[in-house]
Amino acid sequence: MMNNYFIILASGQSKRFNSNQLKQFITYKNKALFEHSLDKAMSSKLFKKIILVVNDKKQIKKKYSKDVVIIKGGKERSDSSLIALKYIKKFKPNNVLIHDAARPNFTIGLLNKLINSLKKNKASIPVISSIDSIKYKVKKQLFNLNRDNSYLTQTPQAFNFKEIYNLSIRQKNKIQDEATLFINSNLRIKFSFKLFSINNVASSWILLFCLMDKS
C-alpha cells in the first residue's frame, strides 16, 4: 500500500440546504450520509489513515478503528481542508484524496483509478459533463457558456501531497474545491470523465428522500 491518506470534509454549515440538520449527518440507509464515504474508504484498504473533519468531535458518537482520526475543522471549507493537510503532514504522505462528506456515490473503483492516475499526474479530478444550459453572470450581464466545454468537478479529488499542501498554505481567498488551486496557478490537472456520472443527481435525490422521510 502506498502512503495514501483520505480526508473527509464533514464540517460544512449546509447554508444552501433547507433543513435544521446538517446534510452530512442526514440518515440514509440506516447511517449518516458521511458514514457511507467513510465505510468505502475503510473497506478499500487503500489508505493508511482516514481523517474525518467535523465542527465538533462530540457529533461523532460511534467508535472507529485507530486508522480513522477525527479532528475539528475551520470556518470555511478551505480552512478545514488546510487543517487536515497540516495534521497529516507529520506522516509524510505521498498522496491525499479530499472528499466532501455529502457525496456518498463514489466507488472503490474510482478511488483506485484516481490513485493510479497520480503515478503520472500531480492532480486527478473526477468530472462530469454538463447536460444543462449554463449562464455566467458578471455584474448585471449574462453570458452563455458552451456546455461542451464546461465540466462539473466532483469529489474525491486526488493530489500529490506536497503540491496541494504548498498551494493550500499560500492560498488567501475562499475556494470551492482544491482543484481551483491548481487552475489558479496554471498547473496541469488530469480530468477523469464519466467515472460516476450520476453522483450529483443521485446525491440530490438521496437528500430529498431523507427529508421526505422526516416530514
Question: Which of the four CATH numbers 3.90.550.10, 1.10.357.10, 1.10.150.20, 3.40.225.10 does domain 4-214 have?
Answer: 3.90.550.10
Which of 22-26, 101-105, 201-205 is predicted with the least confidence, judged by mean pLDDT?
201-205
pLDDT at res. 61: 83
Cβ proximity of 180 and 80 under 8 Å: no
Q: The pTM is what?
A: 0.85
| Bridge partners of residue 71, in order along the sequence | 53
What pLDDT, on the 0 to 100 scale, is given for residue 172? 85
> pLDDT tens digits, residue range 27-76?
777 888 899 999 999 999 999 999 999 988 888 888 999 999 999 999 88
Position 205 scores a pLDDT of: 40
What's the pLDDT tens digit per position in 113-136? 999 999 999 999 998 887 888 888
> Any idea where the domains of the chain sit in the sequence?
4-214
pLDDT value at residue 116: 95
Q: What pLDDT, in 10s, does the model give residues 150-185?
A: 888 899 999 999 999 999 999 988 898 999 999 999
pLDDT for position 132: 83
> Within 10 A of 39 (CB to CB), how many other CB atoms are there?
13
Of 179 and 206, more confident: 179
pLDDT of residue 198: 42
Looking at beta carbons, which pairs linking 60-68 to residues 24 or more positions away fall under 8 Å? 62/35, 64/38, 67/42, 68/38, 68/42
Cα–Cα distance measured from residue 32 to residue 13, given in angstroms and rounded to the nearest whole number: 16
Tens of pLDDT, residue by residue over 75-118, are 888 999 999 999 999 999 999 999 999 888 899 999 999 999 99
CA distances from 71 to 28, 52, 62 (A): 23, 6, 14
